[in-house]
Structure 1
Amino acid sequence: MQTLLLRQMQKGQTGTIRAIKIGGELGRRIREMGLIPGAQITIHGRAPLNDPVAIRVMNGTLTLRNSEADYIQVEVQ
C-alpha cells in the first residue's frame, strides 16, 4: 500500500491515517476532531481551488485547510 499526505489524496479515495506529524495546539486540535492514527477516512470533495478539502471520518464530514492536511500521513487502499 502507498502512503500519501492527506493533501495529495483524490476525491473518493479512502485510506487509514498512519501518523499526525505535528504537535502543539494544531496537533491537539486535529486529534480532537477524530483524526487519529488508525482512523478510516474518505475524501468527500474539494473546493474549486482545492482548498479546503472535505473528508468523511467516523460518520461525519470535516473540512481541513491544505496547510493542516500537510501534517497527516495516510495509507491509501
Structure 2
Amino acid sequence: VKARFYADTGALLKTAYYRRYENAFGTERPTETVIIDGLDPSWVTVMRYSQWERREVPQAWLQRDYLPRFRPE
C-alpha cells in the first residue's frame, strides 16, 4: 500500500509504503513502513513494528487540544 501526504499548498511532503504484512489481532497488518521525504528523496525513514500489544487509549489522547499535555508512557 502506498500513501502520499501533501501540504495545504499541494506540495508533496512524504510518501509512505506500508509493507511486510503479518497477522496481528486477527487481521493482516503492515510490519514495516518506509517514508520518503517529498523535498529530498534521499531522506528515508524505515519503521519496523514488532511485539504487538493491545491496550486501551484514553479518548482525550485523540483530541488536538490534548497534544501540548501529551506525555508518552
Greater Rg over alpha carbons, structure: 2
Give your verdict on TM over 0.5: no
Q: Report the structure, 1 or 2, having the larger helix content.
A: 1
Q: Which has the higher contact order (CA 8 A, sep 6+)?
A: 1
- TM range, smaller chain: under 0.3
TM-score by length of 1: 0.22
